[in-house]
Amino acid sequence: MRILVTGGTGFIGSHTVVELQQAGYNVVIADNLINSNIEVLDGIENITGVRPAFEKVDLTDITATKEIFKKHKDITAIIHFAALKAVGESVGKPLEYYGNNINSIINMLTCMREFDVRNFVFSSSCTVYGQADVLPVTEQTPKKKAESPYGNTKAICEDIMNDFAFAENQFKMIALRYFNPIGAHPSSQIGELPNGTPNNLIPYITQTVAGIRKELSVFGNDYNTPDGTPIRDYIDIVDLAKAHVTAIQRLIDNKNKSNIEYFNIGTGTGVSVLELIETFEKATGRKVPYKITARRAGDIEKIWADTTFANRELGWKAEVPLSESLLNAWKWQEKLGSLKL
Ligand code: NAD
Ligand code: UD1
């Protein structure tokens, strides 16, 4: 039994490969390395003692994608992480984002049908909810129009999965809607490798504290929240990775209730930007230099997950405290400083 992990050298994919291998699964990674580095395989091997099979493939290339399935005939499930994910970049490059993210999922589903692979887990995002009217959001919270081409690719991919599941009901699919993934493996062997100036809060903080950036801009303190800064649900990367293992197991064991299911993967707790900075400072003993600036276009005010459904149905729950995730992110930043990637 082998799991095909697309985007498996990326941030979330690499941590998931570790958890899959530690749970006893064989893995083959397919990645074109457009946003990751082959040395990630060393980190995975150092943690698990097993080097996963690796295929350097652009998943928008259907011929090359089919070759993976011809070569690895024991693939029984797919976790599809591969995508371009920079929200701001997607606004300037919509064709690249739609082309990459939509064509790659269509190719994966096409291969599922051709090679009769029945189980599929997809990386979706809480971005599909936009600014919800009622918090916390459940899986039934209505979706809102996406704020960016990137966000729209997630909504479209969910629609494609839904239509495919309806048309071909022998295939079983789960879309995991991640909230804000943060942290790094506690071993500091793998972590996030942001490309250029980070857009996301945690790598911006760690790079600022490491002296790579001058100071963090806190994007607005005039929101309708207790301290005026926006609220998010920050989910530890190892907890998130483990959610994929339980989702795969659910499909393989035929425990799914319908052939397409959606789960919120968060902690269930909302944290403001200023609260997060304070927790980082306490956990690491490092000061975060910051200033309050204008709001960032497209930011929502607040969102956090209702995780009741995931907790009950997947038997999964976020466990790692925020302070520990932030400490692991900092330890990874310190290690990165000494790496030549
Ligand atoms: P990442 O960029 O670290 O990993 C994505 C991987 O996919 C990279 O290794 C990249 O090289 C690969 N890839 C991209 N296009 C490819 C293609 N055409 N063929 C082969 N490989 C390709 O990103 P991540 O943070 O690990 O995100 C993984 C998934 O989770 C993505 O689908 C992303 O949209 C989704 N997601 C991420 C977040 C987040 O905050 N990180 C939140 C919600 C959803
Ligand atoms: C963003 C994307 C979301 C995507 C996710 C993962 C937007 C509007 N949303 O989520 O679609 O799924 O990344 O890639 O881009 N912040 C600062 N200063 C910074 C960076 C962030 O104050 O330098 C604040 C933001 O205003 C936000 C919080 O920190 O309130 C988290 O930001 P970020 O890490 O970028 O994630 P999201 O905006 O939640």
pLDDT of res. 339 = 57
Assess whether pLDDT exceeds 80 at residue 338: no
Contact predicate 214/289, CB 8 Å: yes
Q: What's the whole-number mean pLDDT along residues 86-97?
A: 95
pLDDT above 70 coverage of the chain, percent: 99
pLDDT at 136 over 50: yes
| Pocket mutation for ligand 2, best pick of 143, 157, 204, 219 (most atoms within 8 Å of C-beta) | 219
Average pLDDT of span 156-184: 97
In the three-class reduction of DSSP (H, G, I as helix; E, B as strand; rest coil), residue 125 is classed as: strand
Residues 6+ apart with CB under 8 A from 313: 250, 257, 261, 263
Res. 269 pLDDT band, cuts 50 70 90: very high
Contact criterion met (CB below 8 Å) for 243 and 103 = no
Q: Which amino acid is at 264?
A: N
pLDDT at 196 over 90: no
| Helix or strand holding residue 231 (H, E) | strand 231-232
Q: Residue 337 — very low, low, confident or very high, per pLDDT cuts 50/70/90?
A: confident
DSSP codes, 142-171 = PP---SSHHHHHHHHHHHHHHHHHHH-TT-
| pLDDT tens column, 212-257 | 999 999 999 999 999 999 999 999 999 999 999 999 999 999 999 9
CA pair distance 237, 16, nearest whole angstrom: 9
Residue 72 CB partners (closer than 8 Å, separation 6+): 2, 4, 28, 53
Under the banding of pLDDT at 50, 70 and 90, the label for residue 195 is confident
Q: Is the CB of 151 under 6 A from ligand 2?
A: yes
For the chain, the average pLDDT equals 97
Pocket test of ligand 2: the residue of 200, 205, 225 to mutate, having most ligand atoms within 8 Å of its CB, is 200
